[in-house]
Amino acid sequence: MRITRGRRNDDHHLGPLAEYTALRAEIIHLMDQQWKVTAFLITTSGAVFGFAFTSAGRMPLLLIVPFSSNILAARWVLCQHLVERVSLYIRSEFDPHVPGGIGYEKWLRKTTPEPPGVRRMLRQAQTSPTVLAFPALATLALGTVAWWFLLSGRAWSDPAVAPGLAAWAAGVVLTLLSLRLIRLAAKRRTVTDYLHWKPAAG
């Protein structure tokens, strides 16, 4: 009889443990996606910069970087948000129903205290410095194009100037939007915030 009860308890625990394994695998997958997005940005931006510097007339091609950077930054932040959501589920819904709790999650809560306010954003930049590559590369591309335009001596009456300035201005707006998106992501609850989160009583 005791053996039968022991097997039932083991079977009862297999489901939650399998779910936890799947959730952790999902977090790892999302973090891998973040790295791939960052690597893709750096690789493609390097190729664009290399091609643009082969000829002065190709410098406007650098305006591609702010556009691609904005799209990839949004993808990076989305993955971060999904990681946070999974962490919230583990902390608030899953951990309380597992006998003895999830040891690794408790260890994380003890060893990763979350600083408040501005310090939280600085911690976010320190722990995930790759996120800064998105606005940094876009800013570098915009600065290079502006420098090239000023040195090129092009007349403002040149038909190509107006669309070029419009594309440059759009790149500036997209870069600012990327910075705002990253700022909001850092200001929002981070992974450790979710791990410390407690449901309101009642």
Express each pLDDT in 45-96 by its tens digit: 999 999 999 988 889 999 999 999 999 999 998 998 888 888 778 777 776 6
Q: If you write DSSP's letter for every residue of 53-115 in order, what string do you get?
A: TT-GGGGGGGGHHHHHHHHHHHHHHHHHHHHHHHHHHIIIIIGGGSTT--HHHHHHHHH-PPP
For the record, the structure tokens of 60 come out as 């406007």
State percent of the chain over pLDDT 90.
33
Residue 172 identity (one-letter amino acid): V
Q: For residue 36, what are the contacts with CB-CB under 8 A and spacing of at least 6?
A: none
pLDDT of residue 202: 36
Place 20 in a pLDDT band, splitting at 50, 70 and 90: confident
pLDDT digits (tens, 9 = 90+) for 123-148: 555 446 677 889 999 999 999 999 98
Look up the pTM and report it: 0.73
